[in-house]
């Protein structure tokens, strides 16, 4: 591309075009392509021979001799966990989430908590300071020594990071409202978001400040337009939840300084977000009670793992006769592809005729399961609904199902079992233990090893058409 010529960038996915088009070929979005004039930061191409000579780099050893990067604990245990056990100086954290899910509330609470030990600043481009003050008063946090400002000009924010008593934690809410005047596009466009984030992150790294950026999420779940942001920051976390439910999950999807897939659980109350130290108990609180007629078929408790943390959740299924030519398949909180696979395995390997029925699968409470280890719990819920025979109330289920119907071992079986024991489960249905170097499992819950999914079938009073 010739220097200085305009280029056209899709604001949804960041794809660049030479010509304007009504629809982005990459992501399919309509009217998302906007002209951008390359600013001074536009990267030269591979043949960029015009670079002026630079200064030689000051190399340092790999060995971090100075213990300069201890984790800084904010005091909000769930937030610290998701950030990998505390914040790292000079790091940038991106928090994405739907509007109204509670990002501003969470970060205000984190800032107020952290302000007891460090200098914290909360900069809002969306709300007026009075609105934030009113919220802080309602949350009983008005006394916290957080520095508050309403600003959208990145230069002003960076200037505020100078000086001896500059803030050590800066929250920028949100990156879509920020702008740098070297880029001509409007705030919220890919070019602005990218340039603003680069400037803020660069300043944070130079000054050793922890920079937290809030990013809005588009309908399809990407942090608005700039997926580019995700690789600029050190840590990306999403704040998720279902408006219909009171709990919210903070989930790390990328972390240069810790494990990804770590979750923190909060409950949204009238007093803001309350940390939930024992999420399993919360997720299972609404289960149908045990005993007599109260027992319902079609529900299985899955002993899952979220990052390094075991979490129990209920998987519910409903298998019903279909009145449609093509039966309905609906999932909430589970992967539709995995449901199809489990159904196909039950049909082909166990002779369970499920293909012509409507199937609904739901992870209770609005949770989202990504682990393949949930396959067996899904299968148990499906078979339980089909056979109208409850899964034992005090049993948890886990295991990955392979295409030939074999139940595969899953990671951290001992951790899952211990969490189940804590909540009073006495039985577990799961894969056969791997032979080599398996760590000892706890005594309770007792693990019933199922090498093949067909061994699950007789538990629910169903006939296995293909079993000898
Ligand atoms: P907010 O933090 O403004 O969301 P975001 O920044 O992600 O857009 O959260 C707003 C929602 O949170 C709003 O629907 C009301 C709810 N809320 C409570 O239920 N309790 C509270 O104490 C607060 C402050 C907010
Ligand atoms: Mg907000």
Q: Report whether pLDDT(465) > 60.
A: no
For residues 363-391, give the mean pLDDT: 90
Q: Report whether pLDDT(11) > 90.
A: no
Q: Report whether pLDDT(119) > 50.
A: yes
For residues 261-288, give the mean pLDDT: 86
Residues with CB under 6 A from ligand 1: 97, 99-105, 135, 139, 268, 270-272
- 85/133 same-domain check: yes
Atom of ligand 1 nearest to the CA of 135: 24
pLDDT of residue 466: 39
**Which H or E run contains 345?**
helix 336-350
Ligand number nearest CA of 172 is 2
Q: Report whether pLDDT(342) > 80.
A: yes
63 lies in a domain? no
Q: Report whether pLDDT(467) > 50.
A: no
- 122/252 same-domain check: yes
- 454/353 same-domain check: yes
CATH number at residue 137: 3.40.50.300
DSSP 8-class letter at 62: S
- 305/208 same-domain check: no
For residues 256-280, give the mean pLDDT: 88
Q: What are phi and psi of 454, to 5 degrees?
A: -65, -20
C-alpha angle with apex 394: 389 to 396, nearest 5 degrees? Answer: 85
| Strand positions, DSSP E, 294-349 | 299-306, 309-321, 329-332
pLDDT in tens, 44-101: 555 555 777 888 888 877 776 655 567 889 999 999 999 988 999 999 999 998 888 9
Give the integer Cα–Cα distance in Å for 226 and 451: 45
Sign of CA dihedral 60, 63, 67, 73: positive
Comparing 70 with 465, which gets the higher pLDDT?
70
- 259/164 same-domain check: yes
Do 214 and 224 touch, CB atoms closer than 8 A?
Answer: no
261 lies in a domain? yes
Comparing 118 with 189, which gets the higher pLDDT?
118
For residues 195-200, give the mean pLDDT: 94
13 lies in a domain? yes
Task: Return the half-sphere exposure (C-beta side, CA atoms, 13 A cut-off) of residue 21.
Answer: 14
DSSP 8-class letter at 217: B
Number of neighbouring beta carbons within 10 Å of residue 144: 18
Percent of the chain scoring above 90 in pLDDT: 49
Q: What predicted TM-score, i.e. pTM, was given to this entire model?
A: 0.78
- 36/82 same-domain check: no
Q: How many helices (H) and strands (E) does the chain have?
A: 10, 21
Residue 318 pLDDT grade (very low, low, confident, very high; cuts 50, 70, 90) = very high
Ligand number nearest CA of 102 is 1
For residues 183-193, give the mean pLDDT: 84
For residues 305-332, give the mean pLDDT: 90
Measured in Å, residue 107 CA sits from the centre of ligand 2 at 9
CA-proximal residue: ligand 1, atom 23 (nearest): 272
pLDDT of residue 213: 95
CA-proximal residue: ligand 1, atom 11 (nearest): 100
Sign of CA dihedral 108, 109, 114, 116: positive
What's the number of domains the chain is made of? 3
Atom of ligand 1 nearest to the CA of 98: 7
Q: Report whether pLDDT(291) > 80.
A: no
Three-class SS of residue 358?
A: strand
The residue from 256, 277, 298 where one domain ends is 277
Do 252 and 261 touch, CB atoms closer than 8 A?
Answer: yes
For residues 210-216, give the mean pLDDT: 93
113 lies in a domain? yes
48 lies in a domain? no
- 200/304 same-domain check: no
CATH number at residue 404: 3.30.230.10
Residue 320 pLDDT grade (very low, low, confident, very high; cuts 50, 70, 90) = very high
The residue from 250, 277, 304 where one domain ends is 277
- 134/246 same-domain check: yes
- 177/96 same-domain check: yes
Taking all residues of the chain, what is their mean pLDDT, rounded to a whole number?
86
Give the integer Cα–Cα distance in Å for 173 and 175: 6
- 287/434 same-domain check: yes
Measured in Å, residue 100 CA sits from the centre of ligand 2 at 7
pLDDT in tens, 344-359: 999 999 998 888 899 9
Three-class SS of residue 425?
A: coil
Do 455 and 430 touch, CB atoms closer than 8 A?
Answer: no
Do 435 and 403 touch, CB atoms closer than 8 A?
Answer: no
- 369/435 same-domain check: yes
- 390/435 same-domain check: yes
Segments forming the whole domain that contains residue 79: 71-277
Instruction: Specify which residues 248 forms β-bridges with.
Output: 241, 266
Do 88 and 71 touch, CB atoms closer than 8 A?
Answer: yes
Give the integer Cα–Cα distance in Å for 87 and 248: 21
Percent of the chain scoring above 70 in pLDDT: 89
Per DSSP, the residues of 245-304 read SSEEEEEEEEETTS-SS-EEEEEEETTEEEE-S-HHHHHTTTSPPPSGGG--SSEEEEEE
Instruction: Specify which residues 96 forms β-bridges with.
Output: 215, 238
The tokens for 35 are: 């002209």
435 lies in a domain? yes
Instruction: Specify which residues 301 forms β-bridges with.
Output: 314, 396
169 lies in a domain? yes
Atom of ligand 1 nearest to the CA of 99: 8
pLDDT of residue 448: 92
Sign of CA dihedral 357, 363, 365, 366: negative
Measured in Å, residue 71 CA sits from the centre of ligand 1 at 28
Ligand number nearest CA of 100 is 1
Sign of CA dihedral 358, 363, 365, 370: negative
For residues 279-291, give the mean pLDDT: 76
238 lies in a domain? yes
Q: Report whether pLDDT(18) > 70.
A: yes
For residues 196-225, give the mean pLDDT: 82
The residue from 247, 277, 307 where one domain ends is 277
Q: Report whether pLDDT(319) > 50.
A: yes
CA-proximal residue: ligand 1, atom 13 (nearest): 100
Radius of gyration of the chain (CA): 26
DSSP 8-class letter at 72: B
The tokens for 279 are: 């999420």
Q: Which of 131, 268, 272, 275 to mutate to test the pocket of ligand 1 (most atoms within 8 A of CB)?
A: 268
Measured in Å, residue 125 CA sits from the centre of ligand 2 at 9
């Amino acid at each position: 591309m010739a220097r200085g010529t305009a280029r056209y960038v899709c604001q949804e996915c960041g794809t660049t075009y030479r010509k304007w088009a009504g629809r982005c070929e990459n992501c399919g979005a309509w009217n998302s392509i906007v002209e951008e004039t390359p600013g001074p930061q536009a990267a030269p191409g591979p043949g960029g021979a015009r670079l002026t000579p630079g200064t030689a780099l000051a190399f340092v050893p790999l060995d971090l001799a100075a213990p300069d990067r201890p984790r800084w604990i904010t005091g909000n245990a769930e937030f610290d966990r998701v950030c990998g056990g505390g914040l790292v100086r000079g790091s940038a954290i991106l928090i994405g989430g739907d509007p109204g899910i509670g990002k501003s509330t969470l970060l205000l609470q984190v800032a107020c908590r952290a302000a007891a030990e460090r200098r914290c600043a909360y900069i809002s481009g969306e709300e007026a300071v009075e609105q934030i003050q009113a919220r802080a008063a309602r949350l009983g946090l008005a006394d916290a020594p957080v520095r508050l400002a309403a600003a959208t000009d990145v230069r002003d924010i960076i200037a505020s990071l100078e000086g001896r008593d500059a803030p050590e934690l800066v929250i920028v809410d949100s990156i879509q409202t920020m702008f740098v005047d070297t880029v001509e596009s409007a705030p919220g466009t890919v070019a602005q978001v990218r340039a603003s984030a680069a400037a803020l992150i660069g300043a944070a790294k130079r000054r050793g400040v922890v920079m937290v950026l809030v990013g809005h999420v588009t309908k399809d779940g990407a942090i608005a337009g700039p997926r580019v942001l995700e690789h600029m920051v050190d840590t990306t976390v999403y704040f998720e939840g279902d408006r219909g439910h009171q709990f919210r999950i903070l989930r790390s999807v990328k972390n240069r300084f810790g494990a990804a897939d770590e979750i923190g659980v909060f409950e949204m109350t009238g007093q803001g977000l309350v940390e939930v130290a024992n999420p399993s108990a919360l997720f299972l609180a609404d289960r149908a009670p045990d005993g007599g007629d109260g027992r319902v078929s079609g529900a299985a408790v899955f002993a899952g793992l979220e990052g390094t943390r075991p979490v129990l959740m209920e998987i519910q299924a409903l298998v019903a006769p279909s009145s449609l030519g093509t039966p309905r398949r609906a999932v909430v909180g589970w992967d539709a592809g995995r449901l199809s696979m489990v159904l196909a395995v039950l049909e082909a390997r166990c002779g369970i005729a499920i293909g012509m029925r409507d199937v609904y699968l739901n992870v209770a409470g609005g949770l989202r399961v990504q682990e393949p280890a949930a396959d067996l719990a899904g299968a148990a819920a499906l078979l339980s609904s089909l056979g109208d025979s409850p899964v034992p109330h005090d049993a948890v289920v886990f295991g990955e199902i392979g295409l030939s119907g074999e139940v595969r071992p899953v990671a951290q079986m001992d951790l899952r079992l211990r969490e189940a024991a804590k909540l009073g489960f006495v039985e577990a249905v799961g894969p056969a233990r791997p032979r080599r170097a398996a760590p000892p499992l706890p005594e309770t819950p007792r693990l019933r090893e199922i090498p093949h999914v067909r061994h699950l079938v007789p538990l629910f009073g169903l006939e296995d058409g293909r079993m000898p």
